[in-house]
Amino acid sequence: MQRTKIKEILQSDKCDYQVNVKGWVRSFRNNQFIALNDGSCMGNLQVVIGLDADEQLIKGINNGVSISVDGMVIASQGKGQKVEIKADAVTILGECDPEKFPLQLKNRPSLEYLREIAHLRFRTNTFGAVFRVRHTLAYAIHKFFNDRGFVYLHTPIVTASDAEGAGEMFRVSTLPFDNPPRNEDGTINFKEDFFGRATNLTVSGQLEAELGAMAFSEVYTFGPTFRAENSNTARHLAEFWMIEPEVAFNDIYDNMDLAEDLLKFVISYALEHNREDLDFLATRLADEEKQKPMNERSEMGLIEKLEFVLNNKFERITYTEAIDILLDSTAYKKKKFQYDVKWGIDMQSEHERYLVEKHFKKPVIVTGYPKEIKAFYMRQNDDGKTVAAMDILAPGIGEIVGGSQREERLDKLTQRMEEMHIPTEEMYWYLDTRRFGGVPHAGFGLGFERMVLFVTGMTNIRDVIPFPRTPKNAEF
RNA sequence: UCCUCCUUAGCUCAGUUGGUUAGAGCACAUGACUGUUAAUCAUGGGGUCUCAGGUUCAAGUCCUGAAGGGGGAGCCA
C-alpha cells in the first residue's frame, strides 16, 4: 500500500479509510498511543495499538524508532486530535536504542545542545519548523524572481578575483601543503596549481551577476558564499547563502522598491504556507521572552511583527538624516553610545539598532553613504561625497540587505578603482561591461540566513542553517 | 580577535561560610495500571563534579592555566 503523508491525514476530517503511514516515534504513551511524525508538518499523528499487541513489538517501540503502520483512519475517541489511526499492523523499520539515543525530547534540550547533535535536531518541533520555513522562503525567492521574468544565474563558487574586498577568502588549491612549488623568490608558484593561478571560494556573485544583467536585463543569484573571517557571533557564518539580484536600467530607487517587494513577498508567502510552523515558533519565542527582564522584551509577537512589516512601508532615510537623528537623540545627548557619532563614520551596530528598534521601530532603508566607507563599484552621487548605496536594517538582525546602484561611467569607475588600489587590468572583464553597451544598473545582496532568522524569530544564525560552518566548527 | 559569563548523571539543573556517603526532575530498567496527550504510580541502576596544576587537615566549592560553549563587540550578509 502506498504511503500517505501525515500532513494529508491531519489536514482532512475524512475518516474510515485504510492507509499506510511511516515515520518516527515522538512519544509512546500508555503502551497504546504512538505520536508519529514524518516531518511533513508540525503535528503528530496518533497511532493507536490494541492492548493485545505483541509484547516484543511494544518493547521495541521507543522514542526515535522508525515504523510503518497499516491501519484505519478513524475519528479520535480521545481529546486533543480529530483523527487517529487504529493500527492493524505495525512494523519497526529501524530500531533506536533508548539508552544511547541522545535526543530526549521530554528534557526540553537546549538549542546549544541540539547544535552539538545537529544531525538529529531535525527531529524536534523547533528545528522541524525552522527548516520547513527555510525551505518555503527559498522557494518563495525563486518564485518571486521567476514571476518577474528574472533569469537565475549560477555564478562560480571558485573564483580568481579578490576584487570586492568583501572579506578574507578560503584558498582553493591542489598543491601539496608540505612542499608547494616555489618561484625563484620563494613565493608559491600558483602557475602549477590546478587552475594555473591562485583561486578562492567566492565571497560574492555580484560582479558576475552584473555581467549577466548586461544581457538578460534582470538576473539573480542564489548560492553559497564563503568568508574566512574569524567572526564569532550569532549573526555570522563562514558558509552562508546569499541572494543577489542585479537589474539593468534600475536606479537606486527601483532597487529599494525591488528589495522591499522581495522581503514582503517572501514573508507573506511563508505566513500563507507555513502558518502552523510560524505559530509554533511564535509560541516558542514568547516563552523565551518570558525569561527576559521586562525592558528587554520585544513589544510584538512574531506573527504580529511579520504582519506589521507587511503592512507598513519601510522607512527610507539618507545616511545624513540618520546621523542627524542620532545626534539629536537623547541616547547621544546622555552619552549612551559607546562609539561617537559624526558625519563620515561607519555606523556601529548600537547606532543601527537605535534607528531601527528605538526610533522607527520598523525596517529602515538607509541610502547615500559616504563613499569612503563603501565599495568601489557603487555609483558616485553628484555631491562628490556620497554614493548611491542602500542598506536595509531589520529589527533584531541589523543589516539584512546591502546594495547599490552601480557605477556605470567607465572613467569614474576606473578612477575610483585606482584610488582604492584595485587592479584594473585583471578586472578587464568587469570593465568591459562599461565599455561595450553599459547601462545604469543596480542590485543588492540579501543574506538568506539573516532573513530566516527574521522570519522564524530565532536568534542564533547557527540554528537556521542545517550544518553551520563557523570558526573551529565543521562537524557533520 | 577582544570583553564577559558558564562547564556537576545520557539531558535540564540544584549543591549553603571550603567539612562526613554529591541531590532532584526527565531519560533508562523492572513491576503495576490502561483512552493516553511531556500519561501516571512504585522500586532500582547510573557520577574521573570539563581537563592540568596549585592552596588547604579537608576542594564540586578558593587560585592559576588550558579546552569547549553562551552572551556582547569588531568585520559583514
Give the ipTM.
0.83
| A249 CB neighbours strand B below 7 A | no
- Find the nucleotide nearest A398 (Cα to C1′): B77
| A450 CB neighbours strand B below 7 A | yes
| A99 CB neighbours strand B below 7 A | yes
- Cβ-based contacts (< 7 Å) between A 163-182 and strand B: 166-167
Tell me which of A89-93, A322-326, A395-399 is least confident: A395-399
pLDDT number for residue A292: 67
| A50 CB neighbours strand B below 7 A | no
| A107 CB neighbours strand B below 7 A | yes
HEC sequence for A358-416: HHHCCCEEEEEEEHHHCCCCECECCCCCEEEEEEEEECCCEEEEEEEEECCCHHHHHHH
| A223 CB neighbours strand B below 7 A | no
pLDDT number for residue A98: 80
pLDDT number for residue A295: 64
Q: Which residue is nearest to nucleotide B12 (CA to C1')?
A: A107
Pairwise CA distance, residues A245 & A267, whole Å: 18
| A100 CB neighbours strand B below 7 A | no
Tens digit of each residue's pLDDT (9 = 90 or more) over A339-367: 889 899 999 888 998 898 889 988 999 99
Q: Which residue is nearest to nucleotide B34 (CA to C1')?
A: A30
| A237 CB neighbours strand B below 7 A | yes
Pairwise CA distance, residues A37 & A44, whole Å: 5
Strand B bases near protein CB (under 7 Å) are: 1-2, 10-13, 25-30, 33-39, 68-77
Mean pLDDT over the full length of chain A: 90
Q: Taking a C-beta distance cutoff of 8 angstroms, is the pair A180, A188 a contact?
A: yes
| A384 CB neighbours strand B below 7 A | no
Contacts of A273 (CB under 8 A, 6+ apart): A136
Q: CA A111, C1' B4: Å apart?
A: 21
Amino acid identity, position A167: G
| A398 CB neighbours strand B below 7 A | yes
Which residue, among A386, A378, A383, has the nearest Cα to A409 in the 3D structure? A378
| A283 CB neighbours strand B below 7 A | no
Q: Taking a C-beta distance cutoff of 8 angstroms, is the pair A367, A392 a contact?
A: no
Q: Give mean pLDDT, residues A226-230.
A: 87
Pairwise CA distance, residues A474 & A455, whole Å: 26
Tens digit of each residue's pLDDT (9 = 90 or more) over A45-90: 999 998 778 888 888 888 888 999 999 999 998 888 999 999 999 9
